[in-house]
Structure 1
Amino acid sequence: WSCLAVCAIAGSEDLGIDVVSGGEILTAIKAGVSAEKIYFHGNNKSVAELELAISKNCRIIADNWLELEHIATIASNTDKNVPVMIRLTPGIECHTHEYIRTGHLDSKFGFDPNQLDEVFTWLSKQTQITCIGVHAHIGSQIFEQQPHQDLAGVMVEWYKLALSHGLPISEINVGGGLGIKYTEADDPQSIDAWVKNVATALKVACDAHGVAYPRVLSEPGRSLIGSSCVTAYTVGGNKTVPGIRTYISIDGGMSDNPRPITYQSQYRAMIANKMSAPMTETVTIAGKHCESGDILIKDAQIAATVPGDILVVPATGAYNYSMSSNYNRITRPAAVLVDRGEANIIIQRENYDDLLRFDRLPERLVK
């Protein structure tokens, strides 16, 4: 979730920031994050974005040959030495939705491992590009331990190959993917257990290959921000289809959370103003958009509701606001930061003027 306040909090905790666009670079910089801790990812970075990242001294996660060529050209026109990590697809499958699996070979991200020797040879000849590490990411919302252990072994092999080419490589970025608890059925590892699992696997692999331990980076992302946020809706009307289901409508939906309709993400809900009431209703929570598929949660167990109740969905900090839209010309809600009894608006609520701000009406259409 890239916004000024969230980036500022991450920076204040001495965390790095992963970015995938010029807009996210500028947001992190504006929030006071040190450029050396900004890592620029993506499979189709534009020349303008690369120029911005290089001018700000960000780290770049190189994803393909065209990108390396652009970096070399930009660097040659400056006095910069550009630190890069090479992203590779490790060919490791994990049990998540196909849209959020990124480590298998059939992925739009990263170099194929068969290209690695050629990539390292090319990098060894560059005078203004410094290969500082290798990077991989196998997917999101992963509960299994084995894929991360397998990844550690593969990455140490890449690391050793880079060293054999004389590259000054010192970092391994194992990506992220640690899942969080969206529903009662989810059973993720703790962050401590995940770190121990990855670190142990890396140590074993380094010892087996006889290489010094690298600096290890990870991308905790969702596991930090996801469970830090809730989304609050106002309950509207309801509709009962006898013998089938009862629909409860809310004043939001796929414009503030496109994940359920996009890749069937599951959530739970509660009625915030009735937290002590028994959960006696089984309902389907429907968004207000003009799509039959705009369903936030099917068969949710909640307290009995009336219009005006506040329905809250937890674990919405990672991909809700950042993926939101103005579909059906619905305004985005406000975002509020609450910490130790203090509340601050960090994104103001949109109004209708905001929706029209970038519209242009040609004179010939004005009657």
Structure 2
Amino acid sequence: MDLHGTSIINDKGHLQIGGCDAVDLVSRFGTPLYVVDEALVRLRARQFNEAFQASGLKYQVAYASKAFSVMAMCVIAEQEGLSLDVVSDGELYTALQAGFPAQRIHFHGNNKTIAELDMALHADIGCFVVDNYYELELLNERAALQGKTANILLRITPGVEAHTHDYISTGQADSKFGFDLGNGSAEDAIIRASGYSHLSLLGVHSHIGSQIFEVEGFKLAVEKLSQFAIRMRDQHDIAFTVLNVGGGFGIRYTAEDSPLPVKEYIAAIADAVITNFNSAKYDIPEIWIEPGRSMVGDAGTTLYTVGSTKDIPGVRKYVAVDGGMTDNPRPALYQSKYHAILANRATDSNEETVSIAGKCCESGDMLIWDLELPKVNAGDVLAVFSTGAYNYAMASNYNRIRRPAVVFVKDGEADVVVERESLQQITCNDVVPARLQKTSLAK
């Protein structure tokens, strides 16, 4: 059994995370329950920092908070010396409420509103990643109104797409994000940006994919971005001081996944940057990256309580849990795969193949297909691994199901960082207009 981080099977035959028995966690906090291994999150942060320190380059590691945005996570990011990537006023507000230093916040997004730009400018955040011409002009106008100059990166679509084991280089990438490198819009945007009086152009940003298990795509993206930087310097006398190569570093969800160690990704990026910029006698820019999933993904485990079963002879056995697509929509959205065990009977031998169904009123609410488990009983605790990224972040109240609590565990201590929603909170924003409060005509 391949466990993550501090997880072990204890002498009771129970899954233990961060020194806390999963069965005890369920007894204390209920299910579904997101459990985050704090030590593993901190380890990942330190691995990224140490890998860059070994390279000798100037850098920023910005945690991509869209993967998992709660105040406690922002506090950990700050304590570990990370910067922070936000994509909405909600994520920005969360960071500021947590006391995260505004100068280390980078604001992303392809359609930032006026209110979001004004909020970020007022907070004096460190950088805006500008995605389009509309934003370029709007941000300059809003910065002028506040008498400020905003630091910006331009998001560039470099024509490199990477996903898991595959990467391709295309002349023009089809994406809703960024200025395209192949059709000339990137160059035009750089020239325009350098002419705005309330914008300070630091450099460019790119993001080539997700769940990337090799380094070739990153190396190719760096090569294209460096060539572009050199051309902008030579033809327009515009020099970049920052090169942001995004995120997308893979994690292990199942035995099929084979991500590289953090240091191998960073070493490849650093080597490509040094080689390409040194060859052109170009001062090496500060390198920024944006790990999200790779910072928190495998640190998360979701605990469920087993309920009903349905055995269709010769076809399939369904085992239902008390959560589903409301706390983990990724299998329904992306056909994502997960691994799970019975946390209360982790040493029992597997006896049957089952499929894990959620409780939503949707046939597509399936968490795992064809999972080998011991004979499953109602009341068993199912632990689904690698749920730290894009699970809580994408949770919903579909069917008016309450969103789970989130618990951080470390050294035998468990702390709630997000309370379980109450039934009262489900209706707290509902309003019944006066015209609907009249006595019903139906008798």
* TM surpasses 0.5: yes
- The residue that corresponds to 1:50 in the other structure is 117
Structure 2 contact 165–213 (Cα < 8 Å) conserved: no
1:246 aligns with 2:313: no
Q: Is the CA contact (8 Å cut-off) linking 2:152 and 2:200 kept in structure 1?
A: yes
Distance 2:249 2:319 in 1: 32
Normalising to structure 1: TM-score of the pair? 0.96
Q: 1:125 aligns with which of 195, 199, 206?
A: 195
Q: CA deviation at 1:28?
A: 0.7
1:145 aligned partner:
215
Aligned partner of 1:62 in structure 2 is: 130
Q: Do structure 1's residue 171 and structure 2's residue 242 form an aligned pair?
A: yes
Alignment of 1:364 onto 2:402: no
Q: Distance in 2 between matches of 1:199 and 1:49?
A: 33
Distance 1:161 1:57 in 2: 31
Structure 2 residue identity aligned to 1:4:
M
Per mean C-alpha deviation after superposition, the further-off stretch among 137-146 and 348-357 is: 137-146
Aligned partners of 1:163, 1:263: CA distance in 2, in Å? 41
Corresponding letter in the other structure for 1:356 = T
CA contact (8 A) 1:278 1:303 kept: yes
Report whether the alignment pairs 1:31 with 2:98.
yes
User: Is structure 2 residue 390 aligned with structure 1 residue 323?
Assistant: no
Secondary structure of 2:258's counterpart equals coil
Determine which of 41, 54, 59 is the counterpart of 2:108.
41
Per-residue CA deviation, residues 119-167 of structure 1 (Å, 9 max, x unaligned), is 1221222222101121000111111321111011011122223434344
1:87-130 per-position Cα deviation (integer Å, ceiling 9, x unaligned):
011111223599xxxx9710000011211222122122222210
Indicate if the aligned counterparts of 1:134 and 1:171 stay in contact, CA closer than 8 A: yes
> Quick one: which amino acid aligns to residue 154 of structure 2?
I
Q: Secondary structure at the match of 2:246?
A: strand
Aligned position for 1:188: 259
Give the Cα separation in 1 of the matches to 2:285 and 2:266. Answer: 15
What is the CA RMSD across the aligned residues, in angstroms?
Answer: 1.7
Asked if 1 retains the 8 angstrom alpha-carbon contact of 2:214 and 2:265, the reply is no
Aligned to 1:237: 308
Question: Secondary structure, in 3 states, of the residue corresponding to 2:378?
Answer: coil
2:151 equivalent to 1:80: no
| Residue 224 of structure 1: aligned partner | 295
* Counterpart for residue 352 of structure 2: 281
Q: Deviations over 1:2-56 (max 9, x none)?
A: 1101111111111011100011111111112111111100000001101111111
The amino acid across from 2:304 in the alignment is Y
User: How many residues in Structure 1 have an aligned counterpart in Structure 2?
Assistant: 363
Q: Take 1:133 and 1:233, find their aligned partners in 2: how far apart are those partners?
A: 46
Tell me which amino acid in the other structure corresponds to 2:142: I
The answer to whether structure 1 residue 13 and structure 2 residue 80 are counterparts is: yes
Task: Give the partner amino acid of 1:363.
Answer: A
Residue identity in the other structure for 1:232: L
Q: Work out whether 1:197 is the aligned partner of 2:265.
A: no
1:106 match: 174
Report the Cα distance in structure 1 between the residues aligned to 2:124 and 2:225, rounded to whole angstroms: 25
Q: Is the 8 A contact 1:283 1:302 kept in 2?
A: yes
> How high is the TM-score relative to the length of structure 2?
0.79
Higher relative contact order (CA 8 A, sep 6+): 2
1:255-297 C-alpha deviation (Å, 9 max, x unpaired): 0000000011100101100111112221000000011010000
- Equivalence map 1:243-322=2 (5 Å): 243-322=314-393
CA contact (8 A) 1:97 1:263 kept: no
Residue 3 of structure 1: which of 26, 51, 70 is its match?
70
- CA distance in structure 2 between the partners assigned to 1:326 and 1:184 by the alignment: 31
Note if contact 1:104-1:138 (Cα within 8 Å) is conserved in structure 2. Answer: no
Tell me which moved more, 155-164 or 42-51: 155-164
Distance 2:436 2:196 in 1: 56
Whether the 8 Å CA contact 2:172–2:180 is kept in 1: the answer is no
Which one of 138, 143, 158 corresponds to residue 90 of structure 1? 158
1:160 aligns with 2:160: no
In 2, Cα distance between the equivalents of 1:348 and 1:125?
48
* CA distance, structure 1, for counterparts of residue 373 and residue 277 of structure 2: 50
SS of corresponding position for 2:210: coil
* Distance in 2, Cα, partners of 1:234 & 1:89: 44
Contact (CA 8 Å) 1:159, 1:172: kept in 2 or not?
Answer: no
Q: CA deviation at 1:354?
A: 0.6
- The alpha carbon displacement at 1:208 in A equals 2.8
